[in-house]
Structure 1
Amino acid sequence: MFGDKLSLEAFDSTSEEEPSGYRFQIIGDPLSDQFVLLGKLIEKMRRLLAVVHVREGDLGLQIADETVRGRIEWDGIEDSRRPCVVIDGRRVEWDELGRMLMTFEGWQFKLEVCDPSDEI
């Protein structure tokens, strides 16, 4: 609960201590029917899981189209300030993301950072 808002979350986890992979969140009114809110979360999960942003190619992981959506995470190295990202439920190191972007050398890009509950 966030004061006057209710947050429902669903996530992958490879261990009990730390979620990894896919993570979904939806914010709603705590006085509304929570099963309706759960249904909205499930619909959001289905929509987002239906889109593939990266695929395995001859050069390793490649951007599937011209749009990549994911989540910014910490790289897990103590005293490190480097991010990694999670795309399509898989962890992608910052250097690997840079290598994938080189396919688009000379192109423009737009980086937009959104709240985890927003649908992008």
Structure 2
Amino acid sequence: MKKVKVNLQIKGELLHLCNDCYNKMMSDELNVNLEQVIESFTLVDGRGISRTFYVERRVYPIGFYFEAVENIEFGYKFAVHGELEGSQQEMISRLIEKTRKGIAEQYIETDVFSGGQAYQNMKNDQIVGVIEYNEASDDEPLVIIDGKPYTWEEVGKMVTAFEGFQIKLKMYDITDDVE
């Protein structure tokens, strides 16, 4: 599991802490108990593929933040947050359920033209994904859909099939539920 590092500035001094050390420091400062929580879980997606997620917890003055990150580069990512007084086990349950729902539906399918050339298109005229930084291009993000990275150009090719249609593009925080 990749260990997350936290950079924190206190009284002008920059501290580099591991996530566990940061959480311990914050829980002591905020007088919050860190419950024992799972480190990972595995679920099966809508295609029958088994996917493993690592769980990261962060303690902030405004509450807990839990994130499930798939164990592959540019895989699925889901997050929830909750109050400091809330049950961390319930937050983990919400995270697992959100992940289960998020991987159940597939948004991209591959079809083949009559000439044999493969192409990708959006199932049900929609996509849901996460925008990530693209190291290959500062000007274009990667869009993670179905646990796979797509360039902005690849997404654009899928969208061209809808020429003349209306579009609604709405951004959601990673902790929001996308319905």
Asked if Structure 1 and Structure 2 have the same fold, meaning a TM-score greater than 0.5 normalized by the shorter chain, the answer is yes
Q: Distance between the aligned counterparts of 2:103 and 2:140, measured in 1?
A: 27
Q: Distance between the aligned counterparts of 2:70 and 2:135, measured in 1?
A: 17
2:44 corresponds to 1:44 = no
Aligned counterpart, 1:70: 129
Query: Aligned ranges for residues 17-28 of structure 1 at < 5 Å?
Result: 19-28=73-82
The number of residue pairs the alignment matches comes to 115
- Rg larger for: 2
Corresponding residue SS for 1:119: coil
* Alpha-carbon offset, residue 60 of structure 1: 2.0
Q: Distance between the aligned counterparts of 2:82 and 2:163, measured in 1?
A: 41
Q: Distance between the aligned counterparts of 2:169 and 2:150, measured in 1?
A: 17
Q: Distance between the aligned counterparts of 2:134 and 2:100, measured in 1?
A: 27
* Alpha-carbon offset, residue 51 of structure 1: 1.2
Corresponding residue SS for 2:95: helix
Q: Distance between the aligned counterparts of 1:2 and 1:67, measured in 2?
A: 34
The answer (yes or no) to whether the contact 1:74–1:81 under 8 Å persists in 2 is no
**Among 61, 64, 67, which residue is 1:6 paired with?**
64
Aligned counterpart, 1:31: 85
- TM-score, reference length from structure 1: 0.88
Percent identity between matched residues is 29
The answer (yes or no) to whether the contact 2:140–2:151 under 8 Å persists in 1 is no
- TM-score, reference length from structure 2: 0.61
Q: Unpaired runs of 5+ in structure 2?
A: 1-58, 113-117
Q: Unpaired runs of 5+ in structure 1?
A: none
Q: Distance between the aligned counterparts of 1:83 and 1:36, measured in 2?
A: 33
* Alpha-carbon offset, residue 55 of structure 1: 1.0
* Alpha-carbon offset, residue 30 of structure 1: 2.0
2:164 corresponds to 1:106 = yes
Aligned counterpart, 2:173: 115
Aligned counterpart, 1:92: 150
Q: CA RMSD in A?
A: 1.4
Could you list the runs of 4 or more consecutive aligned residues of structure 1 that deviate by over 3 angstroms after TM superposition?
none
Q: Distance between the aligned counterparts of 2:87 and 2:131, measured in 1?
A: 31
